[in-house]
Amino acid sequence: MAVTHASPPRAETQPAGDGRERRRADRPRGRALGTAGFHTGAVLLSALWLLPVALVLVTATRSFDDIASNGLGALPHSFTLDGFAQAWTDGGQARALLNSIIVTVPGVLLSLWLASMAAFALSRYNLPLRRTLLLLMLGGNLLPPQILLIPVSKLTEMLGLYDSLYAVIGVQVGFGVGFYVFVLHGFMRSIPQEIQQAAVIDGAGPWTIYTRIVMPLAKPALAALCALSFTWIFNDLLWSITVLRTGSKMPITASLIGLQGQYVSDWNVIAAGSVIAAAPTVIVFLRFQRHFVAGLNLGAVK
C-alpha cells in the first residue's frame, strides 16, 4: 500500500508587476514630501530674513513715547509717520537723497556706456593685447579698496575735485567699469559673427553695428548690470566719506551716520531714515527684477 505524503503548501508568489506599481506609487509621495520640506524651509528662511525688516518698519511707525514706555521689542501701541517727516526735513534726508541720485544716475549711465563700448571693441575685433587688458581690468577689481583710500583722496585733491560730487562720480565710474567690461565682454562674444558680417556686407560701420545691432541684443545684460550698479553706487559709504567733507554734500548712506548721532535715542527717526535710504534700491530692483533674472540666466542654455 503506497503512502502518499502531503506536499507542503506553496507560498503564494506576488507578481513582479505589483512591486513595480508600488514603487511607482511611492515616488509621487516622496516627491510631495520633498517639495513640502523645501517650501517649509524656504518659508522659515524667508521669515528669518524678513524679521529685521519688519522690525525696522514697525519701529519707524511707532511714536517716541511708545518706544520709551514699552520698549523697543514690545508690540506697537501707536501708529504715526512723524518719524519719517522728522528724518526727511530736520534730519536732512531729503537733501542727502538728492545727492545720492545726482551721484548714482550719472555714475550708472556713464559706467555702462564706457563699459559697453570697451566690451564691444574687445569682443568683436582682434585688438592687440586684448586679453591682457581684460586681465588688468579684472585684476583691478580684486584689489581691496581700503589700500586705495589715501591715493584716491590725494588724487582728487590734485585734480581739484576733492569735496565735490564729481569726485564721487569719477571714483564710482573708475572702479566699476572694469567689472562691467568683463561681464559684457563674455555676453557680446556669444553674439553670432554672422550677424555682424551681414551688417558689414550691407555697408554698416562699427558705430552702426554697436548702436543698432549689439546694444539692442545686449539689453538683458545691461538691465542686470544696471540693477547691480545702481545698488552698489547708491549704497556706497566708503568712497563718499573718503572724498567728501561737507555735510550738505553727503549721500544718504553717509547721512544716516549723522542722523544716528543727531537722534541718539529717537529710534523711530533712525528707523524711518533707514527705510527712506533703502526704498530707492528696492524700487529699482523690483522694476528690473525680470531683466535681472534673465541676465543671470544668459548663457545657461545654448
pLDDT tens-place string over residues 108-118: 999 999 999 99
**Is 40 part of any domain?**
no
Most confidently predicted of 32-46, 71-85, 110-124: 110-124
Report yes or no: 236 and 172 within 8 Å, Cβ to Cβ: yes
pLDDT in tens, 167-177: 999 999 988 89
- Look at residues 95, 102, 105, 96 and name the one whose alpha carbon lies nearest to residue 251: 96
Q: Tell me which residue range forms the domain holding 256.
A: 82-296
Burial of 44 (0-12, 13-18, 19+ CB in 10 A): exposed
Q: Which pTM was predicted?
A: 0.79
Give the mean pLDDT of 236-250: 89
Position 256 in a domain: yes
261/121: higher pLDDT: 121
pLDDT in tens, 144-181: 888 888 999 999 999 998 999 999 999 999 888 988 99
Question: Residue 131: which of 141, 142, 123 has the closest Cα?
Answer: 123
Residue at 227 is within a domain: yes
Rounded CA separation 129/138 (Å): 14
Q: What angle do CA 281, 284, 286 make, to 5 degrees?
A: 105
The CATH number covering residue 172 comes to 1.10.3720.10
Helix (H, G, I), strand (E, B) or coil at 138: helix
pLDDT-derived band at 19, boundaries 50, 70, 90: low
pLDDT at residue number 18:
58
Would you list the DSSP string of 175-243?
HHHHHHHHHHHHHHHTS-HHHHHHHHHTT--HHHHIIIIIHHHTHHHHHHHHHHHHHHHHT--HHHHHH
Burial grade of 138 (CB within 10 A; 0-12, 13-18, 19 or more) = middle
| Predicted local distance difference test score (pLDDT) of residue 302 | 41
What are the grid coordinates assigned to 92, written together? 536732512
pLDDT band at 299 (very low <50, low <70, confident <90, very high): very low
Domain count, the chain: 1
Cell numbers 517650501 correspond to 39
Q: Is residue 290 included in any domain, yes or no? A: yes
Classify residue 10: in a domain, yes or no.
no
Residue type, 69: S
